[in-house]
Structure formats: structure tokens, C-alpha cells
Structure 1
């Protein structure tokens, strides 16, 4: 009886397939390459066997079962043997020309999914999105899907250095990424404000560098001097925990790419090991050298350095800090030791070394740095940074790995085999592609998910700045038109970045990620010819948002589609409001007051009180309330 009641509740939410059949657009995100609707449907129940003949496919089937159990209280038997009756067959194929592609065919008597291991996994995710409840049974519509990704690299970066997230929180994010066919999680593990990975050779990185005594309150620009919360913050992942995350992600076809920042953004590490900074501790410092060359120079809120600059605290405020690694051999050995342990944890082909926002004032006043510039015949400190990055790349290459860096690594000359992550717009990515270097596009104009989601920032929780609405994310094309067809081949894919200066909770993380991550999934997976924001937002998004709520994901409720036209008979404005969350309610006012759940309940298009010529424009204020009671922000539209 409990299960039957639960199914009835699901029927209110899982109507995506029925709607898809009416509009001939299945509710799958990201939108598949080719879809053919067939006649009939497949009934999903306890009598259905999943046939998986290899270990990895069986693991994918088990993950599929986990979702079924959690969402539908259903678990299917998994077997290696062929079975009579209704089955879901997972056919492993060798597909070197189209890795990650899959063929999904649903017929009345069974489902067949063919592809490589990734393709089988993604075919199962699409199957989950096709499931609906018809009042008595779980059904999957008869359908034929041929699908493949547009880009090989489909990523999301999570910064855990500004604010730490527990392993279970990371796993939830990985589950959601896998469901929407992302395959790379860039894990930003070190920063000025925190070091998050256990390095056994250097225990003070987790004893000291993983913790800060306090964090600034409000926006970085709100208060000077800064106001602090007085709360100790920090945490780190043991090597076993990191390996657990890597394994969990790999089972979901996601590669975890670690980032160890260098040579800048190093305050936290240097708080524990200041001897690896740009301070010349060998007694060779000239008498007239400026204080700027001393130690790591983390600053108090008033801009003054801490008194004991060789025992500096991990800073609790944001921004670009002057603390950078020195260019001594001891420092390079320290970083190689760190990267050696990192490579033992992360099997990823790529290791990210940061390389961004490196203030070089310390190097300018450091005798050791200046001697190295002269010895290596470098032009300036920019070329010294290139020398630094190139040494790190050589070490990684010797160990069978590839280096990724932010686009600042172009300054002073690009390391020979480096992959560039272009964040300051597309300029760096274009330059790297023209130099025949691989590129991942992540421009802050379209891919910085820490930005606000509304122009009126007072309606949003505190964020770092900027404005990045859902439609702008969807509009992005990772291939710059200025590149030739040959140069375009170096664009590996696209990534969104979630920096967490102002994101301290799981709810806020999910609020910033969703639904923008759903738009990004189509940017990364779906061919441009199959992309259409109107179809995405009206036909595919509503079902997925209702599902996310059922999955207890704290997504941002997006603005409704508000259409205002003139009524031919009366000359008055006709207002039509369409929510992008299936089953939600809309409450509105046009009298200047804010909307709440005591306001007018929207029941269909309505006429404004006047023509618009006899007094000032009206303001439509509205809120959206989701099926489970989540209330949106206050939205306003001018009726003119």
C-alpha cells in the first residue's frame, strides 16, 4: 500500500514521457543526436532482468539499480546469462571511432543498449530519464536513439579550498554530473585560504595549511578593514578518502582531475612551510632589500603584514595574494614530492597546476630569482614563470602525465606540451589552439557559475559578482569562429567553474550549479544543430527540474516565461506566464506590492487593468512555488 501511494505521488512528477510523445521531443537532457519514436512501450517491473556480461557493465547496471531503488523502490536482478522474457540487454562493443557513443532501442519486449563502457552507462542514464508512471505501471516509451557527444571533455570544476565540502557532498555532485553525462570533475584542492589534500611527506600541510582561524563577512568590497566571523574553518581529504572519490567517480565514467596551485595562490602552503617561498633564507639577502621580499606576506585586514612573517596564518580573506613559491631547488623538490603523492592518488592523464594570477613582486626583489633569470637568460619575471611551469611539466611528462594550466601560463612562453584552460574570455584559448596546443574553454563570461543569476542582485544570495543567466550559458559555443577547421580540432571541450568564496553550504552549491549545469550539459554533449533554448526550457527542463526536487537537489527556481501581448478587442495587455517547473504554482500581483502566497493564483492568461496609455506602466511581481513547496525568488516584469 505504501509503495502504491508513493507511485501515485510520482505520477504527478514523472509526466515527461507523455509530454514528449505529444510534442515528439523526449525529455532527455542532454538532447540526443538522433531520436525515432516507435509504437508501443516497455513495462518496467520486478520480472525484468538486466543482462550484463562483463564486470564494468554490471557495475553500471548496479548504479542504474541504485537510482531505481531510490526513486521508484524497484530493484532489477542482474545476470550474466541470457534470459527469456523482458530484459535490458547491455551489449559491449568496440567503438574506437566514436567513444562514449551509444545505441538505445526500446521495444515492447525489451531494451537493448549497445556501446563501449561509457556508452552503456550513458544509455542507462537516458533510459532512467525516459521512465514515467501511467497510473499503474512504470513504463518506458518505445524509442530508437543513436547518440554521441559533441566534445570529449565535459567538465565542472569545484573549488573546495575556499570552503570545504565533505566526501558525501562530493559524491552527490558526482551522481548528478554522471546523470547529465559530464565526464570530468576538476577538483581545486589548494588555494591561499586552504590546502585540502593529505601529503604524507609534509604533514604540516594538513595540520596548519588546511585551517584558517576566521573568514571575512560579506562581499570582499563591503568593508575595509574587513570584518571577520571568528569561526575556524577547514578540513582536508585523507589520501584514502581522495582515492574513494576517484573510484566512485570512475565507476560513473568521470575522471577526477586534481589541481595543485603553483607558483601563486600559495599562502596556505607557505604558512606551514615558509622556507619554500620567495624569501631568501640562505643569508644572501642584501641589506637594502625591501620588506616585500621577506617570507610570504599574508596580511591583516588593515593591510599590514603579520608581526611574525615566518609563522604566518592562513588568510581568511579573498583576492590575489602576493605569496608565491620561490625558485630555489628546495622548492622544486617540495613540489615534485607533492605531485608524486598526487599522482599516486589520481590516475588522471591530466594534472592541473593552476598558474593563474601570479604577482611577481617577490621575484623582482629576490636575489635568488634574479640570479636564475640571469643564469637562464630569461627576459623578465614572466619568462621566469614560464621556466617554473615548464620544469613542472617536464616532471609530469616524465611520469606519464600531462599538464593543464590556466591561460596565464601563456605569458612568457607556453610550456611545450601544456593544455590551456581559457578563463579570461576566449583569447588565451584561441592563441593556444593556433600554437597547436589542446584547449579547454571555460570563459568567465559564460562558464563562471559563482556569478549571480539575476540582474537585480538584491533578489539573490550573496555571490562574487557578474551576471550569468541560464539562457546565456545555453548560448555558448566552445568553438571560436576565428579558428580554422584544423585549429578547431584542438578545442577538447568545455568546463564550468564553481569558485566557493561565497558558497559555504551544499544547498548554495546546488543553487549555483542547477539548472545552469543542465544547460551546460547540452553545450558540451549536444550537436549545435540539435540545440534550441525554447525546446530545452519548455519541453525538457520542466520534467528534469521536478525530478531534481524529488532527488532533494536545491536548484534555483528559474524565472517563468512571461509573454505580454495586446488584446485586439480591448487594447489592454494580455499576460501569459509559463513556469519551467512542472506542477508548480504561480502567485502574482500587479498593484505594486510584492507577491507571496496570499496573492493572486495564476490560472491562465489575464488582461491588465488598463490599456497602458492612461497611466504609468504596471509592474508584474510574481513568485513560483514548486510541487514540494520551494518558493522562488521575487521576480518582476514591467508591463508596458
Structure 2
């Protein structure tokens, strides 16, 4: 039987059905508020090339959620294999680390208080939680103007270990935690060149007079302020050069610029140096000599042991690179880093100010750089912002240093004898600049101003080259055939010079990047072809040395020393990058990071130094602080260059790199004689190895808390290797592991018991990484230790979380299998690690 409706009645029926249908589903504009998402790793077969990720979408509302009205966007640093995804949905890689998840099955919906499980596979392993997706947001398909809506209810499900599995993990950590027994702490960090100890100690009180040579008045105030800060005592000024039982800061022209002497005896303290830097570093040593127990406000006296010290740095360049482009760090957080750098005698802060994901310094002549390149949001398709990256989310805020901010940073650093070197990353890793200048181009073209539009354009609009960068970008390289590219670089350099001049610190050195220009770039650019033809080039590979000579000449014209990553001293003749000795006369200083064990370039720093380049060894293997501390799920960070704990950082041998290495970055034993054919430093090379540097890339560093966790305490090991004199175990053909272990234990004893507690007092405290807890079950006893000294272990057996009032671990615990044990590492000021729970029944 058929029932027929007149046309008017049919319209009414459709309307009624639509109302009933809509009443069963969430309003499209509300879905982001009613959707919760969890991500977790699903274990796969150990032989599987990738790993399965699971997204669980929860409907938190009392209405069904249709899946045909929205798309889910997120950042994910690993490459997703779309072929292995659930066929009900589709994951598209957009650019960089941004993915869009859309639904193929248009009938899908998430029932009331129900969930939808979506699995996908990555091409490689995800070792820790920071590899997970981030920055989740929705876009609604019906909206004409793309806007992102943040998923506030997003979380990562961490694995729950079975008791036996957890015990194995803790037992392994217990073995790693073992240090030399009964080790004495080294006197100071960094260690000094020469020290002769006496018997007794000098007692500094509120009656102690302080004399300062006129040239060192600033350092004298700095020292007086420090004593007042930690003790409440105000040292009165002395008129005579060596007051009785007082403190003297005097000039000694015979000492080198950063060299100093300290004499502490019954007559007082004498600090001697030829310049302000030497005095400043002498004061840092005094700070380290003062034990943590001395650093209590309003003490009546401070004790400093009798000794004689003569000290100077091993390397002139002692640096840290901080990436503020990928994820921005505020002016205040940078200043906190500067304070620790100065405390441990690092003297160079390399600020990575731009990259594919952000431009972070105001350039008044080119406001688009921060108007477009300083913000990431979901509306990036308009070209007026960058796309979300590394968890920045749908509504990212504009983040950059104003001219005034940067001047303040420069002055703050200069007062602490730290040079701030700006990096303008070129020609690769330059997407923020490229897209900003594209926006400028469109603006002026719309006004009919073609000349102005092309003035700073950084890409060839007719370029059809296909490439994929290390961070999966396909449009992030400047076109070096365009005159406007060099006009852009020149304008930015002039702006930087003006900012430094305004701060009273003339810009002397600038870093112009130069790393990781991807294969395939420029190959289909008409402008590159015209340049190649005009110069008689036969390969696109010849473009690279052409570019380096151009920017070297530009820097010389501006009286600037050119710094860059290692590729500036290399070229490709068709078989990969190799050292280019032809550019060694250009005065380029190179940061050499590529020494990954097992990859074949372990001797690259030495090759470049031997070829005549000034080299700062920026060892990815030891000092890339974006690497995870260890291969455990709870440790954030990268794993592409292995894992780097503080022992690995301390064990770096700048001039004899291969001596103590027996495994590659995957932990596999190297073949016998693996390093036999590697290049060693020549005498010229030794003279050209001018320093070492650590680096923190911030793809996985979303905030200040994570930054401090990743930097500290590993930066202190960097400082020890950069300043401290060469050890006996660094020399020769055989590595003395026993002597190394003794020195390392002494360093760790001083660090854990003395220096880290000081960091908890400085600037309101630093979120340094707490030591990992190790537990070993032996027979019927539990044994515990911490990764480094200075923190106590508390435990409970009553089901309550451990606190400072709980039982403190002092020795073996006799196991009661009927009880549940909870452990926690805690510092004297209350900072605590995660709770470890063990059950045995």
C-alpha cells in the first residue's frame, strides 16, 4: 500500500522529521565542548616497524554527536601511515606536524555517553608520552570562515605497569644509580684549574670590610648584594686596599681576561683579576665554595675554607643555544636561564629567533614578521598567520620580543658577562619568514604597488620544486637566486645592529643558520635556473657555496663575524655533504652538531677544524638537551639521537671524542676498530676548536616548566666540561674508567648535595629534574637509591601518599607481602617526584 502526500504536506513532514532528527544530536557549534579525547599507545609486536596509537573520542553529553559536520586537527611529531588507519576515517598530513582527521563514513555518530575508538599506525616507535598528539581542535564544515575550537578535555593515558614489570624497571634504575661509595664532593662547580687547600676556614660576618678597586665597583656591588641576599648581612666598605681580616677585590694586570686568583686565609679573602670578567668568575667560585648549609637568610656568619685557587677556562666559547622559535619563552624565563648560565660561567647565549614555526623578534621595518610569523592559529589558510605547531592550539597568541624586551635581555646578559648571539635562520628552516613576506607581497599587490610587493619576497612564485624537510615542511626555504632575499637579510641585520647599539652592546657576531636544506629544493625554480645559466653552473649543488659566499660578503660589509651550522663549511659534489676547504678563508665560525655514533660523521667537527674553520663543538650526542634523559615512557624529549642523561653529558671528551664510546645511539655494541679510520685533531685543529655548546630545541618544550626540566641539571655538566681543565682520563689511547668514575661521583656529590639545593633558592626556584628512584628486591628486603644525591626517599605502607612526615628510607626494608608500599623522592624544600606503588600479595 502506498500513501501519497500533497506537496505542501510533504514539506511539513520533512520539517517535522528534521526537528526530530536534530533533537537527537548535539548542535554542531557545541560539539567541541561535549567531546573528550584520550590518546594512548597500544603495544604491538616487537618486530612491527611502527606502533599503534589509539584515539578514543568520548561523548560527554546527553545528545548523540554526528561525525559528518566537523574535522579534528592536531599536531603529531611522528609520521602517520595512512594506509594502516581505520577505513571509517581519513588522516591527512597537511604540512609540518599538522594533521587533519576527517570521517569517511558519513553515517558515524557517537551515542550518548558512549565513545568511538580510532586506531592508526606510525612509521616508527614512540618512546615516551611527549611523542603523543597535542593541540587538539575542531573546525566545523558548515562555517565559511575557518575557525578552530579547542578540545579542552584531552588527556594522555599512561601505561600501567604490572608489578613484576615495574620491579624490573626499578631494578635497572637501581643499578644505574650506583655511584662510587663514600665519594667526597669536588670543591666547586665548575672545577678549578689549580687548588691548594689549607686547614681551617675564614668566617665572614657583618663586621667584615669589603675593599674594591675602582675598576671593579660593579662586581663589588654584585658581591655585596649576594652576601646580603643569602645572609642578610651588609658588608661595610673599606678604604684601605687590604683591610685586616677583610675582603679585597684587586686588579692584577698579569692575569688573562677571564683568569682569576682567590686567596682565603686567616687574614681574609683576596680576589685578583685583570678585568671585570675574571672578578665575576671569582665570585661565582666563592658562591660554589659556600655550602648549602651556609645559605640561610640572616645567619650571623658564613664560613669559607682556607685555600689558594688559580683558575681560568678551558674554552673561550662556553655556550647554550635556546630555541625560542618553535615554542616561545618569555623574557622573564630567558633571564632565569641567563642567571644559571652566569652562575656556572657559561658566557654565550645563542638565541634561535626564527624557524619554520615562528618569528620572535620585532623588526620595525618589516612588521609582518611578527604580525604573521609571530602567531599560529587555525585560520592560517588566510595567510595572515602560521599554522598551529607543536601543540600551540587553535587560538595561539602573538608571541615575540619587542625591541624594548630584547634590549632588556641584552643588558641583563651583559651585566653577567654573557654575549647574546642572535640567529637569523637562513635559507632553510625559514618558513615563518617566507610566509610573512608572502603576506607583505599580497598586501602591496592589492594596493597596486608591485615594486614594494617584490622588495622582500623570499620565494620564487613559479618554483615547482618538490621537497620534504627534516620537520616535514614542503615550503620552508628561501630562494637564494632572488636579490630580494639578500635585501631581506640585510634589512634584518641592520635592525639587529640598531637594537644592539641601543643596548650599548654593539653586535659583533651573527648566526645565519644554514642547516638542513632539504634534497630537491630549487631544482624546478626558474629563478635558480637563470642564475645557474648566467654563472655557468652545471649542478644545483653549486648554488650552496654561492650562497655562503654571498652572505659571508654581506656580513663583512656590515663588520659582522658570520656564524653558522656545520653545513656552511660543506658542499655536495653529488655524493652527499663533505668538507669544503675552499670557504675556510671566509672567517666563518661553525657549530658542529652531527656526531651521532653509528652514523659515520663522528669525526666531522675534527675534519672542519683541521680544514681551518673555527669550530664550536655542539655535540648532539651529549649536549642536545631536547633529547629524553632515558628510554622510559615517563621521560619527555626526542630520541632521534639516542638518550642523554647527566653522565653522558659529563662524559663528553671535546678533543678525544671516540675514547670512551663503545655503543651506538641505539645501544648496540660497535664493531671492534670502528673508530680506527676516523680523523683526529691536528695541531691546527686543536687551535680551531674554540668551544663547546649545548642546545635546547623546543618542539617538545611547550612552557617554562618543561624548559627547566630539560635544561637542569644537564646544563651544569656542560658548564663543567666547558670550563674545567682537561682530565687525565681524556687523554691517550685508553680510557681509565675507574678514574672517570671517581671524578664523576665527586661532581655528582657536589651537584646533588650543594648546587641543586641552591637552585631551589635562586629566583624563586628552578624546576630541575629530580633524581629517578631505583628499587631492588633482594631476598626478603627492598633496597632503594636515588639517581643523584641531595634528595631523600620517603615511603608508606598504610595506603596514604608519602609526605615529608612519612618514614624516611635509611637502609634495607624488610618486606611484608601483605602491605602495599608507596615511595617518593623529595627534596628538603618539598619538591617531590612521582609516587611509585608496589604490591606483593
State the TM-score bracket (shorter-chain normalisation): 0.7 to 0.9
1:331 aligned residue: 485
Which of 554, 559, 562 matches 1:395? 554
Which of 516, 524, 528 matches 2:722? 524
Q: What's the TM-score, normalizing by structure 1?
A: 0.80
Task: Tell me, in whole angstroms, the C-alpha distance in 2 between the residues paired with 1:452 and 1:76.
Answer: 45
Indicate whether 1:499 and 2:716 are aligned: no
SS at match of 1:105: strand
Which of 152, 158, 162 matches 2:316? 152
* Cα pair distance change 1:226/1:273, threshold 3 Å: closer
Q: How many residues align?
A: 568
1:479 aligned residue: 655
Task: Tell me, in whole angstroms, the C-alpha distance in 2 between the residues paired with 1:319 and 1:86.
Answer: 65
1:241 aligned residue: 405
Indicate whether 1:605 and 2:811 are aligned: yes
2:370 aligned residue: 206
For 1:331-370, list aligned pairs within 5 A: 331-346=485-500, 347-359=506-518, 361-370=520-529
CA deviation string 1:124-177 (max 9, x = no partner): 111122224567522222221111111111111111111222222211111110
Task: Tell me, in whole angstroms, the C-alpha distance in 2 between the residues paired with 1:226 and 1:242.
Answer: 24
Note the aligned Cα RMSD (angstroms). Answer: 3.7
Task: Tell me, in whole angstroms, the C-alpha distance in 1 between the residues paired with 2:253 and 2:534.
Answer: 52
* Cα pair distance change 1:402/1:37, threshold 3 Å: same
* Cα pair distance change 1:321/1:66, threshold 3 Å: farther
SS at match of 2:605: helix
SS at match of 1:365: coil
1:577 aligned residue: 785
Shift of 1:244: 2.3
Contact 2:749 2:789 survives alignment (8 Å): no
Task: Tell me, in whole angstroms, the C-alpha distance in 1 between the residues paired with 2:698 and 2:837.
Answer: 28
2:257 aligned residue: 99
CA deviation string 1:465-500 (max 9, x = no partner): 642111101111111462223322211111110111
Task: Tell me, in whole angstroms, the C-alpha distance in 2 between the residues paired with 1:350 and 1:161.
Answer: 20
Indicate whether 1:553 and 2:553 are aligned: no
Task: Tell me, in whole angstroms, the C-alpha distance in 2 between the residues paired with 1:374 and 1:122.
Answer: 56
* Cα pair distance change 1:453/1:226, threshold 3 Å: closer
* Cα pair distance change 1:81/1:228, threshold 3 Å: closer
Task: Tell me, in whole angstroms, the C-alpha distance in 1 between the residues paired with 2:624 and 2:245.
Answer: 45
* Cα pair distance change 1:387/1:443, threshold 3 Å: same
Gapped regions of structure 2 (runs ≥ 5):
1-181, 381-387, 439-453, 501-505, 573-579, 596-601, 658-679, 729-739
SS at match of 2:531: helix
2:672 aligned residue: none
Indicate whether 1:385 and 2:544 are aligned: yes
Question: Greater CA radius of gyration, 1 or 2?
Answer: 2
Which of 375, 392, 395 matches 2:534? 375
Shift of 1:635: 7.1
* Cα pair distance change 1:382/1:596, threshold 3 Å: farther
Task: Tell me, in whole angstroms, the C-alpha distance in 1 between the residues paired with 2:611 and 2:555.
Answer: 21
For 1:27-176, list aligned pairs within 5 A: 27-55=187-215, 57-77=216-236, 82=241, 84-95=243-254, 98-116=256-274, 117-132=276-291, 136-176=300-340
Task: Tell me, in whole angstroms, the C-alpha distance in 1 between the residues paired with 2:510 and 2:587.
Answer: 12
CA deviation string 1:518-553 (max 9, x = no partner): 111111111232772111112443211111112211
SS at match of 1:51: strand
Indicate whether 1:420 and 2:590 are aligned: yes
Shift of 1:75: 3.5
Contact 2:185 2:748 survives alignment (8 Å): no
SS at match of 1:486: helix
2:707 aligned residue: 509
Task: Tell me, in whole angstroms, the C-alpha distance in 2 between the residues paired with 1:192 and 1:604.
Answer: 51
Indicate whether 1:630 and 2:831 are aligned: yes
Contact 2:427 2:514 survives alignment (8 Å): yes
SS at match of 1:124: helix
CA deviation string 1:250-285 (max 9, x = no partner): 22111111100001111111222125456445xxx5
* Cα pair distance change 1:510/1:80, threshold 3 Å: farther
* Cα pair distance change 1:95/1:323, threshold 3 Å: farther
Task: Tell me, in whole angstroms, the C-alpha distance in 1 between the residues paired with 2:331 and 2:535.
Answer: 44
Contact 2:465 2:520 survives alignment (8 Å): no
SS at match of 2:510: strand
Task: Tell me, in whole angstroms, the C-alpha distance in 2 between the residues paired with 1:49 and 1:320.
Answer: 62
Shift of 1:122: 0.5
Shift of 1:206: 2.2
SS at match of 2:229: helix
SS at match of 1:411: strand
Shift of 1:590: 11
Q: What's the TM-score, normalizing by structure 2?
A: 0.62
Task: Tell me, in whole angstroms, the C-alpha distance in 2 between the residues paired with 1:77 and 1:128.
Answer: 19
Shift of 1:26: 4.8
1:434 aligned residue: 610
Shift of 1:202: 1.4
* Cα pair distance change 1:580/1:112, threshold 3 Å: same
Shift of 1:62: 2.3
Contact 1:278 1:363 survives alignment (8 Å): no
* Cα pair distance change 1:437/1:78, threshold 3 Å: farther
Task: Tell me, in whole angstroms, the C-alpha distance in 1 between the residues paired with 2:340 and 2:717.
Answer: 13
For 1:278-357, list aligned pairs within 5 A: 279-280=459-460, 285=462, 290=464, 319-326=472-479, 327-346=481-500, 347-357=506-516
* Cα pair distance change 1:195/1:79, threshold 3 Å: farther
2:35 aligned residue: none
Task: Tell me, in whole angstroms, the C-alpha distance in 2 between the residues paired with 1:167 and 1:75.
Answer: 30
* Cα pair distance change 1:357/1:233, threshold 3 Å: farther
SS at match of 1:36: strand
2:149 aligned residue: none
Task: Tell me, in whole angstroms, the C-alpha distance in 1 between the residues paired with 2:632 and 2:837.
Answer: 10
